[in-house]
């Protein structure tokens, strides 16, 4: 079974950098020891740049710059309005260059250009949102009449360590940078080693917008080297991490030595549950988009579809026909719907799951490399039906354009299937029965639930997962809570009534 529609050109953006450096204390620098690593583009799998590979010494330098900017610089002490103006200037700059950002992101990640453009615009929105939030922020004051006033003195925590993955890298970096900077923290960002290109653009954007030197620091490098050193550095009191669950577990252990604050957005295997009373056209559109957009490299992908038995055959036939018509090809072509997976290692992992799936389910679409695309990390949108809940493709995160479809008979069985995995990031429920929708939503193990919709969220809402999908929720005020300490200050208004120890 193969894909029918392919785009075969290969676009290379003008003025691609050939070396990607760290940004520390307001300067682009190489690693202290000169270490580098190769960066590939996912369409040719050729090295197009070398990036500085940060080591412990580079992290030490970056943390020292961030600490100095925090202890001695203006950023943590600025009025919220003044910081907000800088954050809006960052958003303006991102919007003004969204096309360039998108073409670089597409080149580095293999994401389809139309989707990369949407991610760049979302990155700008993250900065606008947190700019507005800090200006409007209120904190608690409690009065005990005639005796006491108690208030919350909110303080930025210090140097925030931000560690990000390679899927939608620029947008996910903004998701951490915006609240950390809005809160008055200074930061060290360690972006994913597969996709360092767009992260280096932040340096110029921040400088032009008026972020003081040392507030934003960027160290590229391998997770086990640069990432590990950042996690273990004693002057970094909190780590915000997005990535795989197993990496999150390692980081959690390593944070324990210094009792760091941690926020973890981890993997997912999210169910879309389609009941017989659903609007089937809308459910098919949405569940296709839910797993095949962003190449399926999406933490909230609806990678398991549970379908009520009475509509199962119809759903599977229509779903597979649409999946076979998805346009796969050069990520830069605006007609492309599924591009190239980020890296040959990840491609090999996804392809291995496709082969496992052939032994575990009924292949309805895809199942390998699309015809006509002989190079690059291309995988046909792949649909397996009749997948048992014990199957590996039902249980494990594949993080590619592969979906498992499973039938159910009753609401209770649907809920057991939905909850029968270790993850709990998102769930999507399709039904026109209001009572069933809310009961199911409240019972499902998921940090986020969408009723009759795919993944569209208001930035004020909590974001995060339960079980193996994460620890802590960010989003809206919760992000500001993470990057700040809420110190309680108590003032006595009346004579103090203290038990007089030693006064007889």
State yes or no: residue 243 binds ligand NAD (CB under 6 A): yes
Q: How many CA atoms lie within 13 A of 71 on its CB side?
A: 8
Cβ(196)–Cβ(227) under 8 Å?
A: no
**Exactly one of 173, 193, 265, 474 is catalytic; which is it?**
265
State yes or no: residue 251 binds ligand NAD (CB under 6 A): yes
Q: How many CA atoms lie within 13 A of 38 on its CB side?
A: 8
CA distances in angstroms from 347 to 10, 368, 402, listed in the order given: 18, 11, 12
Query: Which residue in 157, 391, 421, 425 binds ligand NAD (CB under 6 A)?
Result: 425
Q: Phi and psi dihedrals of 405, rounded to 5?
A: -115, 135
Query: Which residue in 223, 366, 381, 407 binds ligand NAD (CB under 6 A)?
Result: 223
C-beta closer to ligand NAD: residue 231 or 283: 231
Nearest CA among 239, 201, 188, 248 for reference residue 56: 188
Q: How many CA atoms lie within 13 A of 294 on its CB side?
A: 21
C-beta closer to ligand NAD: residue 126 or 167: 167
- Count CB-CB contacts under 10 A for residue 264: 24
Query: Which residue in 268, 331, 339, 366 binds ligand NAD (CB under 6 A)?
Result: 268
Query: Binding-site residue total for ligand NAD (CB under 6 A)?
Result: 31
Name the one range near ligand NAD by CB under 6 A: 116-124, 264-272, 373-381, 412-420. 264-272
Three-state secondary structure along 300-318?
CCCCEEEEEHHHHHHHHHH
Tokens encoding 312: 């199962």
Q: State the nearest-atom distance from the C-beta of 161 to ligand NAD, in Å.
A: 9
Q: How far apart are alpha carbons 153 and 141 in whole angstroms?
A: 10
Name the one range near ligand NAD by CB under 6 A: 145-153, 210-218, 238-246, 381-389. 238-246
Q: Mark 454-473 with x for binding to ligand NAD (rule: CB under 6 A) and - for no binding.
A: -----------x---xx---
Cβ(149)–Cβ(142) under 8 Å?
A: yes
Instruction: Quote the DSSP letter at residue 223.
Output: I
Instruction: Quote the DSSP letter at residue 225.
Output: I
Q: State the nearest-atom distance from the C-beta of 194 to ligand NAD, in Å.
A: 7
Query: Which residue in 73, 112, 267, 400 binds ligand NAD (CB under 6 A)?
Result: 267
Query: Which residue in 58, 98, 228, 333 binds ligand NAD (CB under 6 A)?
Result: 228
Residue 360 is a catalytic residue: no
Query: Which residue in 98, 108, 173, 193 binds ligand NAD (CB under 6 A)?
Result: 193
Q: How far apart are alpha carbons 304 and 317 in whole angstroms?
A: 16
Tell me the sheet residues that pair with 466: 424
CA dihedral over 373, 169, 17, 32, signed as positive or negative: negative
State yes or no: residue 266 binds ligand NAD (CB under 6 A): yes
Please name the residue ranges forming H helices in 7-142. Answer: 56-72, 80-96, 98-109, 113-136
Query: Which residue in 68, 244, 396, 485 binds ligand NAD (CB under 6 A)?
Result: 244
Name the one range near ligand NAD by CB under 6 A: 18-26, 108-116, 162-170, 350-358. 162-170
Task: List binders of ligand NAD among 169-188 (CB under 6 A).
Answer: 172
Q: State the nearest-atom distance from the C-beta of 162 to ligand NAD, in Å.
A: 9
Q: State the nearest-atom distance from the C-beta of 460 to ligand NAD, in Å.
A: 17
Task: List binders of ligand NAD among 45-84 (CB under 6 A).
Answer: none
Q: Is 224 exposed, middle or buried (0-12, 13-18, 19+ CB in 10 A)?
A: exposed
| Interacting residues toward ligand NAD by CB under 6 A | 163-167, 172, 190, 192-193, 223-224, 227-228, 231, 242-244, 247, 250-251, 265-268, 299, 397, 399, 425, 465, 469-470
Q: What residues act catalytically? A: 265
């Amino acid at each position: 079974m193969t894909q029918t529609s392919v785009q075969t050109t290969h676009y290379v953006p003008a003025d691609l950098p050939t070396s990607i450096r760290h940004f520390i204390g307001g300067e682009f620098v190489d690693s202290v020891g000169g270490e580098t690593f190769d960066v590939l583009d996912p369409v040719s799998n050729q090295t197009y740049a070398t990036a500085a590979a940060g080591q412990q010494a580079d992290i030490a330098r970056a943390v020292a710059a961030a600490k100095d900017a925090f202890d001695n610089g203006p950023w943590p002490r600025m009025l919220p309005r003044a910081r907000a103006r800088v954050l809006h200037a960052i958003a303006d700059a991102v919007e003004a260059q969204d096309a360039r950002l998108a073409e670089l992101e597409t080149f580095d990640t293999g994401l389809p250009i139309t989707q990369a453009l949407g991610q760049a615009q979302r990155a700008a929105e993250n900065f606008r949102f947190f700019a507005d939030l800090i200006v409007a922020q209120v904190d608690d004051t409690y009065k005990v009449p005639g005796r006491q006033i108690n208030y919350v003195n909110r303080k930025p925590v210090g140097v925030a360590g931000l560690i990000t993955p390679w899927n939608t890298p620029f947008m996910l970096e903004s998701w951490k940078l915006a609240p950390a900077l809005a809160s008055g923290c200074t930061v060290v960002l360690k972006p994913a080693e597969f996709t360092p290109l767009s992260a280096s653009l932040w340096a110029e954007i921040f400088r032009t917008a008026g972020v003081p030197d040392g507030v934003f620091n960027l160290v590229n490098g391998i997770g086990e080297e640069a990432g590990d050193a950042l996690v273990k550095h004693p002057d970094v009191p909190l780590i915000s991490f997005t990535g795989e669950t197993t990496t999150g577990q390692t980081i959690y252990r390593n944070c324990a030595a210094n009792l760091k604050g941690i926020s973890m957005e981890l993997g997912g295997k999210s169910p879309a549950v389609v009941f017989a009373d659903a609007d089937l056209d809308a459910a098919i559109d949405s569940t296709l988009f839910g797993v095949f957009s962003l190449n399926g490299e999406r933490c909230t992908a609806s990678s398991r579809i549970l379908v009520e038995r009475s509509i199962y055959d119809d759903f599977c036939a229509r779903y597979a026909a649409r999946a076979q018509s998805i346009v796969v090809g050069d990520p830069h072509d605006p007609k492309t719907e599924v591009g190239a997976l980020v890296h040959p290692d990840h491609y090999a992992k996804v392809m291995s799951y496709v082969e496992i799936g052939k032994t575990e389910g009924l292949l309805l679409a895809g199942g390998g490399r699309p015809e006509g695309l002989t190079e690059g990390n291309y995988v046909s949108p792949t649909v397996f039906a009749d997948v048992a809940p014990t199957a590996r493709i039902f249980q494990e995160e594949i993080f590619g354009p592969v979906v498992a479809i499973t039938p159910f008979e009753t609401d209770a069985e649907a809920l057991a299937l939905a909850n029968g995995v270790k993850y709990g990031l998102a769930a999507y429920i399709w039904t026109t029965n209001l009572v069933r929708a809310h009961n199911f939503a409240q019972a499902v193990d998921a940090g986020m639930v969408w009723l009759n919709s795919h993944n569209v969220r208001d930035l004020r809402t909590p974001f995060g997962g339960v079980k193996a999908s994460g620890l802590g929720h960010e989003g809206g005020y919760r992000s500001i809570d993470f990057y700040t300490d809420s110190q309680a200050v108590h003032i006595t208004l009346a004579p103090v009534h203290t038990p007089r120890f030693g006064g007889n």
